[in-house]
Structure 1
Amino acid sequence: MSSYSQLFARHIETLQQRTRDILNQQGLAGLAIHSGQSLRVFLDDQDYPFKVNPHFKAWLPVLDNPHCWLLVDGHRKPVLLFYRPTDFWHKVPDLPSAFWVEQFDVRFLTRPEQVAEHLPAQRGEWAYLGGHLEVAELLGFSQPNPEAVLNYLHYHRAYKTDYELECLREANRIGVRGHLAARDAFLAGASEFEINLAYMKAVGQGSEQAPYGNIVAINENAAVLHYTHLSHQRIADVDRHSFLIDAGVDFHGYASDITRTWAWRRGLFADLIAALEVQQQEIIATMRAGLRYTELHLQMHGRIARLLQQFGLVDMSVDGMVESGVTGSFFPHGLGHLLGLQVHDAGGFMQDERGTPLAAPEAHPFLRCTRIMEPRQVFTIEPGLYFIDSLLQTLQAGEHGKQVNWALVDALRSCGGIRIEDNVVLHANGVENLTRQAGL
């Protein structure tokens, strides 16, 4: 625990330095970072699940407590205004006692409006960071979410501290346990709903703690990229073909994002999974500092084209498939994205700390990252190969439709598709695959 505390102390030093830099640049006195507020369901007496402001959880792993505040100026010990009401209807948050407490000047609020008693007098010189602009205005903050401040913080958030990397490693270790449990449940004949229960039991997190909705898809449901329906129906062995799970966990506010695809029996689809996995591992091995992530994505399209050739699915040249967009009919999404405090972490299109954007190529609009890859950045690498009816219909009706082996495509439609996703850290001396390192 002492070494973990040391990692966190150095993490806070880094955040303090970033705070000093941006405050000096913008002539600000400090940042008032709001954890957020609960949102009431319309015409109901219950709230939606609370999601903390990522700028708040960048400083400490308090993820489930609204009405908290951080006051930071880059020099003094950060002030944590911790909300702890008197309440017999709900569980009151425990007194803070974890490894991170000594890094903060902790004060307590029993009512949200008490925050005004602790705020600096010159609030016009402080920036508010949070999602409740009406609260900022009521409290007298005249600079809510300044674009220059957000751009700077989002850009530098891509460079993970040692503490953040250890959190991401642990998120992968826990997530891998869930994936193995989900695989075993699928192979035992469970339904999507039952598989999801097995996953959540193995990781010890429910849907409200998960960083995103679990994708648990059997057969053709794997062709729905964000499938979250979770059918209760068990499928007979003879009709059982494939299983795709895309699920992660949250550890101290940091997400894992892992996908695996499994075949029910040996044969063409199982061979296709194995071949895509080889390509996925090879593209990861080519990652290096100085290469733009866009180039990695375009290289993957060439690899998908070679697979389509190899398995007799499309009779075209590799360049012809990529340039004409044929590969996009089978691999329609981006190769991956930045990962960290959020699953699709901020800053993926930023080219500098001023926030200068570089959009995805016009032919690849769903790519979520165009940055130059650098050490300490964490990415997902998640190539896919799918049989999506709407995309295939367009392909079949187009000029290259006759170059597709539709009999083979039709034989694979019931399998839905394949996605294989690892979480990868780029270091100065190579790549660290957090997911494979965790045993999956």
Structure 2
Amino acid sequence: MVALREIKSAEEVAEMEAALAVTGAMHVAAMQSSRPGVVEHQVVGIMEGIMRRHDWQLAYPSIFSRRGEVLHNHAHDNVLQKGDLVLNDTGCTSGGGYASDITRTFPVGGRFNQQQRKLYNIVLDMQLQAIAAIKPGVRYLDVHKLAAQVMVQGMSELGFFHGPVEEIVESGAYAIAFPHGLGHQIGMDVHDMEGLGEDLVGYDDSVQRSPLFGLGYLRLGKALKAGMVLTVEPGIYFIPALIAAWQAEGRHSQYINYARFAEMTGFGGIRIEDNVLVTESGSRVLGEPIPKTVEELEAIMQQ
């Protein structure tokens, strides 16, 4: 069943791009509606209204929150404040039953501050380098590690990590800021086919799931094939409980500057996610581009 479903036909890809067209409009509307004093659920309602005009449904409950460090945060009760970073992970299902899954992170008030801009651009670099590395035969496990290396290099320059980049990634220390997998397959389900068994979908005899915190949550690790569609969704998060727990036990203290991480309480989280088709020679981001560079986001939020 996995072999039958994981290679998408042109018709299936067209359904996913139809879903992405509506999802893109939802995300742009959210960016332009996220003003100081607005309650999160008001923006969620605007997005769902766009989708319901097509008589479509959400592919999964929206994650829209200024508390982006809380993974899978389905509460929408915060009042947005100027300077907040909002993480919006929202996708809809096409009329033919195919899912989209997009995340954007943007600043309330329409301007990133200097620290937000630096960290945001690290996440964007993680995503762009990961997408560029995707092609048939490449293990998604290795693409995940590449994204983690990009993050550690960038965050080391800002004082969060110290030591050899590859050592930090292989030890699992990087997961204090990136505690989830890079992505998963997507199709008729947002986590496509995982009801059949996550390891059956994402792993095989040549690639085993890692026992490490963070890397162990990578849903897709095996070699990629042309026709697969997957999400690429790196992130950086400052999770106070996780930072405190690791610091208390001295975990990876040779690599992690805990004093620097402690300065980030209240920052939230950043994630950037697109849906990517593995082609015969590389990859293609599906759908029309949805604003994601700092300049694109600031411009669209000023309109």
Provide the TM-score with structure 1 as the length reference: 0.59
Instruction: Write the deviation string for residues 139-169 of structure 1: whole angstroms up to 9, x where unpaired.
Output: xxxxxxxxxxxxxx22220000111000011
Match of 2:211 in 1: 362
Counterpart amino acid of residue 234 in structure 1? V
Describe the SS at the equivalent of 1:414: coil
**Which structure has the higher relative contact order (CA within 8 Å, separation 6+)?**
2
Of 87, 97, 110, the match for 1:244: 87
Match of 1:424 in 2: 276
Consecutive unaligned residues in structure 2, runs of 5 or more: 293-303
Q: CA deviation at 1:359?
A: 3.9
Instruction: Write the deviation string for residues 331-385 of structure 1: whole angstroms up to 9, x where unpaired.
Output: 1110000000001111664489xx8695422222211112220111100000111
Match of 1:287 in 2: 134
Counterpart amino acid of residue 276 in structure 1? V
Alignment partners' CA distance in 2, 1:199 and 1:411: 34
Consecutive unaligned residues in structure 1, runs of 5 or more: 1-152
Check whether the contact 1:378–1:425 (CA below 8 A) recurs between aligned residues.
yes
Given the superposition, is the C-alpha separation of residues 325 and 204 from structure 1 closer, same or farther in structure 2, using an over 3 Å criterion?
Answer: same
Q: CA deviation at 1:195?
A: 1.3
Alignment partners' CA distance in 2, 1:246 and 1:351: 23
Alignment partners' CA distance in 2, 1:436 and 1:360: 34
Match of 1:328 in 2: 175
Say whether residues 1:227 and 2:76 are aligned partners: no
Check whether the contact 2:86–2:105 (CA below 8 A) recurs between aligned residues.
yes
Q: CA deviation at 1:206?
A: 10
Greater Rg over alpha carbons, structure: 1
Alignment partners' CA distance in 2, 1:293 and 1:273: 23
RMSD after superposition: 2.5
Alignment partners' CA distance in 1, 2:53 and 2:2: 27
Check whether the contact 2:122–2:150 (CA below 8 A) recurs between aligned residues.
no
Larger deviation, residues 300-309 vs 396-405:
396-405
Given the superposition, is the C-alpha separation of residues 226 and 205 from structure 1 closer, same or farther in structure 2, using an over 3 Å criterion?
Answer: farther
Identity fraction in percent: 28
Alignment partners' CA distance in 2, 1:236 and 1:381: 29
Q: CA deviation at 1:274?
A: 1.9
Match of 1:434 in 2: 286
Match of 2:42 in 1: 194
Describe the SS at the equivalent of 1:262: strand
Describe the SS at the equivalent of 1:380: strand
Counterpart amino acid of residue 228 in structure 1? H
Provide the TM-score with structure 2 as the length reference: 0.84
Of 100, 116, 129, the match for 1:256: 100
Match of 2:235 in 1: 384
Counterpart amino acid of residue 361 in structure 1? S
Say whether residues 1:269 and 2:269 are aligned partners: no
Counterpart amino acid of residue 284 in structure 2? E
Given the superposition, is the C-alpha separation of residues 249 and 399 from structure 1 closer, same or farther in structure 2, using an over 3 Å criterion?
Answer: closer
Counterpart amino acid of residue 432 in structure 1? R
Say whether residues 1:209 and 2:65 are aligned partners: no
Match of 1:162 in 2: 10
Instruction: Write the deviation string for residues 158-192 of structure 1: whole angstroms up to 9, x where unpaired.
Output: 00011100001111111111111111111454221
